Structure 1
Amino acid sequence: MTEAIEQFFATLPARAPQLLRSSLTGTLRIDLTDDGRTEHWVLRIRPGALDIDRGLAEADAIWYSSVDLFDRLVTGRSQAIAALFRNESTFSGRVTLFLAFRLFFPPAPGTRDPREVAREKVRRAR
């Protein structure tokens, strides 16, 4: 497991109140594989909160990913939905849990909010 992944999971509970504003509840298990070993992260999601455990547990949804891909996701070098479309990872279960969880990933380096770009253009046009 990379340091970036460890730090990412450590920050999730503190960031949950800002990102989990809907009434969504459920359990998402993330299975990360590396050299034939699998680590299991269990995330219990509820409105404004997220609890994390390690280990094999029943879940409403399971996301399978390599450690390498997940490291790219937590550092903004790859995007979660694109990874699924490219078949770099797989997902089963309640897709709404995946969609909520992907909000925790950072944007790609240098990415800017399109609304801010539009505001700058309006300011320059004045």
Structure 2
Amino acid sequence: MMRNVTFPAVLMLLSALAGCGMTPTRGTGPDGEPPLLAKPQDKTIFGLDAQKGRGLVDGQAAIAYDPDGCQIWIIDDGAEGYSSRRRDPVSGMPVCDTRVKPGYVVGDPRVNRVPDWRPVR
């Protein structure tokens, strides 16, 4: 009888302890928005934009740099966004360099001017 009561009690205690400190956190911005993860960068830096100042063509992705310095293709149509690691077409390895600081975005990832929808708290 004692074993039938002890196991569920221990299981509930461990479950309660596992959930400690796992509450959702608010953003760190002035209005509670999420922290800034990327900053816009000059669109014509080191010739990534072949149009020289006119921005990327609709439907083409911008390039973001992750913390490792690797390039990520990103595109945002307002309703949803897409991203994919940029890979070398010959070797299949990720394209990484140190020409731009990690966290920067080269180009505008938005393909239209539909604003991003954010739920109101």
TM-score band (shorter)?
under 0.3
Structure holding more strand per residue? 1
Q: Which has the larger radius of gyration?
A: 2
Query: What TM-score, normalized to structure 1?
Result: 0.24
Query: What TM-score, normalized to structure 2?
Result: 0.25
Structure holding more helix per residue? 1
